[in-house]
């Protein structure tokens, strides 16, 4: 009976995108908004939701990656998942050793709020305004190029 309930929950989660919590250790940081989390069963490729960080090849991309590495690498993490993106990565809000990695990347100035996906009333907008006013991270540049524009230019 329990197995049937678990199976039903997993089917519902996959079909309608219900959130789930994953806990494990961050073993790799690909860039400023993507990491790998490993639990005792499997490996998850995770994209931090509601933010967009410079690509590694983009100016400030390595700085952004180094910041997320500092926040999360080899630390215990909890990922509140929402769904998968078109690349098969799990979209999630990630907390590493008690630090909200999504918000911290924005607070440090190493990621933009991804306005295309973030709610209009998301507290991340205020966090970004503070980082911009303080000229932290990429906001120290006179005209930082958002990653979605950088990717469009590369096409």
Please enumerate in sequence order all residues whose Cβ is within 8 A of that of 84, keeping only pairs 6 or more positions apart, or say none: 90, 91
Is 80 annotated as catalytic?
no
Contact 83, 91 (CB under 8 A): yes
Of 41, 29, 38, which Cα lies nearest the Cα of 101? 29
Q: Among the options 47, 65, 107, 108, which is catalytic?
A: 47
Tokens 């790998």 correspond to: 36
Q: Among the options 89, 93, 107, 108, which is catalytic?
A: 89
Q: Among the options 28, 42, 45, 55, which is catalytic?
A: 55
H-helix or E-strand containing 83?
strand 76-84
Q: What CA–CA distance (Å, rounded) separates 29 from 119? A: 25
Is 55 annotated as catalytic?
yes
Cβ atoms within 10 Å, residue 145:
14
H-helix or E-strand containing 103?
helix 101-107
Is 89 annotated as catalytic?
yes
Contact 109, 138 (CB under 8 A): yes
Active site residue ranges: 47, 55, 89
């Amino acid at each position: 009976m329990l197995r049937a309930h678990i199976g039903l929950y997993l089917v519902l989660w996959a079909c309608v995108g219900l959130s789930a919590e994953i806990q494990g250790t961050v073993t790799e940081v690909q860039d400023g908004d993507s990491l790998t989390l490993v639990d005792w069963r499997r490996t998850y490729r995770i994209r931090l939701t509601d933010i967009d960080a410079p690509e590694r090849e983009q100016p400030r991309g390595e700085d952004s990656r180094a910041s997320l590495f500092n926040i999360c690498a080899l630390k215990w993490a909890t990922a509140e998942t929402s769904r998968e993106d078109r690349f098969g990565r799990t979209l999630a809000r990630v907390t590493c050793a008690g630090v909200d990695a999504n918000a911290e990347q924005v607070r440090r100035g190493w990621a933009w709020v991804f306005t295309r996906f973030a709610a209009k009333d998301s507290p991340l907008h205020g966090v970004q305004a503070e980082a911009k006013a303080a000229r932290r991270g990429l906001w120290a540049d006179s005209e930082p190029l958002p990653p979605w524009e950088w990717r469009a230019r590369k096409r």
